[in-house]
Homo-oligomer: A and B are copies of this chain.
Amino acid sequence: MQEPHPQRSTEAVLISEVGPRDGLQSVKATMPTHHKRAWIDALVAAGVQEIEVASFVPARLLPQMADAAEVARHALTHPGVCVMALVPNLKGAEAALHAGVHKLTMPVSASEAHSLANVRKTREQMIEEVRAIARLRDEIAPTVKLEAGISTAFGCTLQGAVAEDDVIWLAEACVKAGADESGLSDTTGMANPAQVKRLFTRLRRSLGSQAGAAHMHNTRGLGLANCLAAYEAGVRTFDASLGGLGGCPYAPGASGNVVTEDLVFMFEAMGIETGIDLARLLAARLPLSAGLPHEPLYGMTPEAGLPKGWQPASSRQAGLPS
Contact = CB atoms under 8 A, between A and B. Distances in A.
Interface of A: 155-161, 188-190, 192-195, 218-222, 224-225, 227-229, 253, 255-256, 259, 262, 265-266, 269-272, 299-301, 304-305, 307-309, 321-322
B224 A222 contact: yes
B192 A304 contact: no
Most buried by B among A220, A255, A299, A301: A220
Contacts of A321: 161
23 contacts: A155-B308, A157-B307, A159-B308, A188-B307, A190-B307, A192-B269, A193-B228, A193-B270, A194-B269, A194-B270, A218-B300, A219-B300, A219-B304, A220-B300, A220-B304, A221-B224, A221-B262, A221-B265, A222-B224, A224-B224, A253-B304, A253-B305, A256-B300
Q: Is the interface of A mostly helix, strand, loop or mixed?
A: loop
A170 to B, nearest CB: 19
Nearest to A269: B192
A300 B160 CA distance: 19
A299 B222 CA distance: 11
Contact of A220 (B218, B222, B227, B265): B265
Q: How many copies does the complex hold?
A: 2
B300 A221 contact: yes
Contacts of A155: 307-309
Contacts of A156: 308
A29 to B, nearest CB: 22
A97 B21 CA distance: 59
A156 B255 CA distance: 33
A307 B160 CA distance: 8
A221 B299 contact: yes
Nearest to A301: B220
Contacts of A227: 225
Top 8 closest A-B pairs, CB basis? A160-B309, A192-B269, A221-B300, A221-B262, A194-B270, A224-B225, A160-B308, A225-B225
A195 to B, nearest CB: 8
Given A161-B321, A229-B228, A309-B161, A266 B192 contact: yes
Most buried by B among A190, A225, A253, A308: A225
Contacts of A309: 155, 160-161
Contacts of A300: 218-221, 256
